[in-house]
Amino acid sequence: MRTQVYIDGYNLYYGVLRRSTYKWLDVYRLFREQLLLPETELLEVRYYTAPVLGALCDDPASPQRQRQYLQALRKLYPTQVSLIEGKLIKGEAVLRLVKPITDLPTLDKVKVITLTEKKTDVNIATDMLVSAFSGACEQIVLCSNDSDLEGALKAIRQHCPAIRLGLIAPTGSERHISHDLRKQVDWIKTIGIDDLAAAQLPEKIPHTSIRRPPSW
């Protein structure tokens, strides 16, 4: 079955990668060898992300590690993996405290920095719809747990019923999968730690100077 995969990069990272030792993830092998059926014809993996903002990172090396990782995917899979970048927007918000601070009993609100990822949801939804309506594939697999993508899946199910829809949720447990996404797809899987361990990029990307970051 001719298949295209759509990965919400930040959802994948915060769902299963952030606290793991398997961040040097080969997303193409992860799907081709671990998550999809052997007879699946994997046409393309589309990976959606946004550059991290160095000034707001706890670790100042985070932007460089992200750039290394994305470049590794580009070099190893120039045609099989497409990288689509949105952006992170810094903002501010005034939020009410859940509990008062003992030393500041009159303080009930604080101003905080917010980060909003722009374009990723729209890009994923648009690209899935284009693939479905153009007949580019027979199966669409979404890797995300973001319920904002329910509308796109619902439209594909209604208008392109021949397209098979799969959901691979980066949650580690099926009980945490979005109900809104669950009801729109034909099948569901989660990503386990063994899947991540079995799908790591080479320590050094062949024919390049790109290496796995030491902390990964």
Burial of 118-157, coded b for 16+ CB within 10 Å and e otherwise, reads eebbebbbebbbebbeeeebbbbbbbbbbebbbebbebbb
- Residue 73 inside a domain? The answer is yes
Is residue 68 domain-resident? yes
Sequence-separated (6 or more) residues with CB below 8 Å from residue 110: 94, 95, 97
In a domain, 19, yes or no: yes
Number of domains in the chain: 1
**Residue 101 is assigned to a structural domain of this protein:** no
d(CA 171, CA 189): 10
- pLDDT at residue 92, as a whole number: 80
Whether 206 maps to a domain, the answer reads no
The CATH number of whichever domain residue 17 belongs to comes to: 3.40.50.1010
- What does each C-alpha distance from 96 to 90, 110, 116 come to in angstroms? 19, 6, 19
Residue 103 falls inside a structural domain: no
Which residue range(s) make up the domain with 10? 2-86+118-197
CA distance readout (Å), 145 to 3, 7, 137, 173, 189: 19, 10, 22, 11, 11
**Do the domain assignments include residue 47?**
yes
What is the mean pLDDT for each group of 10 consecutive residues in the chain (216 residues)? 97 94 98 97 98 74 94 98 87 83 82 78 97 98 97 98 97 87 97 97 97 93
135 within domain boundaries: yes
Quote the pLDDT of residue 115.
67
